[in-house]
Amino acid sequence: MTSTSPEVRAAADRLLRAAGERTPCAPVREILPEPSVSVGYAVQSLLTRARLDQGRHVVGRKIGLTAPAVQTQLGVDQPDFGVLFDDMACAQDQPVEMGRLLQPRIEAEIAFVLGEDLAEGDLDETAARATVAEVVPALEIVDSRVAGWDITIVDTIADNASSGLYVLGEPRTPLGDLDLRRVEMALVDEAGETVSSGSGSACLGDPVNALLWLARTARELGDPLRAGEVVLSGALGPMAPVRAGARYTATLTGLGTVRAAFTDDSAGGVA
């Protein structure tokens, strides 16, 4: 089956329709006779092309399914990645419209801002650290176009790695020789209740490992990481459901804080 097969196009159309109509759909794995990782990325590629045709612009990538807690939540056993578009970035001090989302969940991560391409030569830790201009605390607002989050690895890859929106916090810190494994994360709601906690070591052992996994995978697929891109590392702890009207703040030791608030209604568009 090729990337232009009727099955792959039907899966892409199903996900695009779910987003456009703001109605979650059935899993796409049921219409893919070869529900492999490569076929999932073939569907994702069609969705990316459709969004570019709509005038959206790629500004980075997101790594997903890096934390064992999240893999357990979703019943998968390997990471994946998706594409970040310009209209997915949200400001800390502007409430996110719930109507842009279908089934949102939130997770705290580390964002890498690349100062150089991460594409040539030996892709190792030294190379990765040399290309990172800044690290930033981040919140990813993940979402699924598949009803009830009834997903396998193929469904989530096809659905742009279950991406939604993201928020970058403050400050922006040079990576240098920081040991991101030691970062401790606490995500709390407006009442001060902890909704998720974890550490940098939960992200493939080290968030830099996640960046390297993505760099190698992206290069193999012919679309390497470029200077200026934002890369979300993947969750440092479990995802938490998003409540309408809620406010969330994540503190990452040694890196800073990031916050997001949500409207208490469902008015608006779709992510």
pLDDT at 266: 54
Q: Residue 12 is encoded by which pair of tokens?
A: 């892409």
Q: Is 48 a domain residue?
A: no
pLDDT cut 90: percent of the chain above it: 83
The whole-number pLDDT of residue 267 equals 47
Q: What is the pLDDT of residues 210-238, one digit of tens each?
A: 999 999 999 998 899 999 999 999 999 99
Helix extents (H) in the chain: 6-21, 37-53, 68-74, 125-131, 153-158, 207-220
Q: Which residues contact 146 (CB under 8 A, 6 or more apart)?
A: 18, 24, 25, 26, 27, 28, 155, 159
pLDDT tens digits for range 170-207: 999 999 999 999 999 999 999 999 999 999 999 999 99
CB atoms within 10 A of CB 93: 8
Domain that holds residue 161: 58-261
Peptide bond into 171 cis (omega under 30): yes
Is there a domain that residue 256 lies in? yes
Does the residue 31 lie in any domain? no
- Is the model's pLDDT at 208 over the cut of 90? yes
Place 70 in a pLDDT band, splitting at 50, 70 and 90: confident
Residue at 3 is within a domain: no
pLDDT band at 1 (very low <50, low <70, confident <90, very high): very low
Mean pLDDT score across all residues of the chain:
92
The Cα–Cα gap between 42 and 213 comes to 19
CATH number at residue 223: 3.90.850.10
- How many C-beta neighbours within 10 Å does residue 189 have? 17
If one compares 71 and 159, the residue with the highest pLDDT of the two is 159
- Please, where are the H alpha helices in 109-253? 125-131, 153-158, 207-220
Q: For residue 168, what are the CA distances in angstroms to 14, 200, 228, 270?
A: 31, 17, 14, 20
pLDDT in tens, 111-130: 999 999 998 888 999 999 99
Least confident among 19-23, 72-76, 229-233: 72-76
Gap between the Cα atoms of 30 and 19, Å rounded:
19
% of the chain at pLDDT higher than 70: 96
Please count the structural domains in the chain. 1
Q: Is residue 171 part of a domain?
A: yes
Residue 41 maps to a domain: no
52 part of a folded domain: no
Q: Measure CA 126 to chain center.
A: 24
